[in-house]
A = this chain, B = another copy of it.
């Protein structure tokens, strides 16, 4: 699968502010960057650092007056299909140190609150079978609906509202998985078929020694997803984080399958 990605961000700043962008598809074994350009119209040179877990990169820009960013890329995604249920369970003591942080509750994924629900509803399951059951439950229980949630919506809200957008689906699955002692992280990504076209958010669960992509919305196949960034929740993977205030003038994301 080859994806063509085009992003345009156009923001205004009444006062100068530091801006952290995470919009570039990450170069990884299962997603190869064939072409890429990131152009920022800004007087200040940009500076890039690796993203969380060394995946992708974060790019510092300076918002002064107006900040326009254009990103274009072609990405070759080659990734075997994932059948979560095939993976065995890993005891907590056998987890690598680097994934332990992904067992912890986070701001939008307060997983400690969900232990009771997970124990009650999914008793007897473990490992990949449990992960699959959690993902199925999220997909079956939520309704995809724009406008239901906002930037402060947590997995607790979504759990009661039974509706949300991709971010909310990912948060809820991540929270449930961590409650079950399965490491889980959030992933921002480009995926074809997202409607309306936008940045997409999915989840990765650590099963049988590796991170396994899963899209609880069912919108995308894990074979077609190009990761941008990973992290504990939406906090870490936002496409733009601003220390200060900005006004959006325009924003567009286009992801197309190339034949």
- Spot the interface stretch: A25-33, A44-52, A209-217, A251-259: A44-52
Contact call B235/A120, Cβ cutoff below 8 A: no
**A229-250 interface code vs B (CB 8 A; 1 in, 0 out):** 0010001100001011000000
Contact call B49/A97, Cβ cutoff below 8 A: yes
A92 within 8 A of B: yes
**A1-31 interface code vs B (CB 8 A; 1 in, 0 out):** 0000000000000000010100000000000
Range for the number of chain A residues in contact with chain B: 35 or more
Give A102-135 interface residues, CB cut-off 8 Å to B: 103-107, 110, 113-117, 119-120
- Chain B contacts of A152 at CB under 8 A? 150, 152
**C-alpha gap A68/B15 in the complex (Å):** 40
The one of B115, B116, B141 in contact with A120, judged by C-beta atoms closer than 8 angstroms, is: B141
Which of chain B's residues has its CB closest to A60's CB? B93
The one of B60, B105, B117 in contact with A161, judged by C-beta atoms closer than 8 angstroms, is: B117
The one of B44, B107, B113, B244 in contact with A157, judged by C-beta atoms closer than 8 angstroms, is: B113
Residue of A51, A60, A92, A106 contacting most chain B CB atoms (<10 Å): A92
Which of chain B's residues has its CB closest to A19's CB? B92
Which of chain B's residues has its CB closest to A163's CB? B116
Contact call A159/B162, Cβ cutoff below 8 A: no
Instruction: State whether A243 and B117 are in contact (beta carbons under 8 Å apart), knowing that A49-B95, A97-B58, A105-B107 are contacts in the complex.
Output: no
A156 within 8 A of B: yes
A101 within 8 A of B: yes
**C-alpha gap A160/B163 in the complex (Å):** 16
Instruction: State whether A60 and B107 are in contact (beta carbons under 8 Å apart), knowing that A150-B152, A161-B117 are contacts in the complex.
Output: no
Q: Which residues of A contact B (CB under 8 A)?
A: 18, 20, 44-47, 49-52, 58, 60, 62, 91-97, 100-101, 103-107, 110, 113-117, 119-120, 141, 143, 148, 150, 152, 156-157, 159-163, 179, 181, 231, 235-236, 241, 243-244
Apart from A104-B241, A120-B162, A179-B243, what are 9 other A-B pairs with CB-CB below 8 Å? Answer: A18-B181, A20-B100, A49-B97, A50-B97, A51-B97, A52-B101, A60-B92, A101-B231, A159-B160
8 pairs of residues in contact across A and B, judged by CB atoms under 8 Å: A18-B93, A47-B94, A49-B95, A116-B148, A116-B162, A120-B141, A156-B156, A159-B159
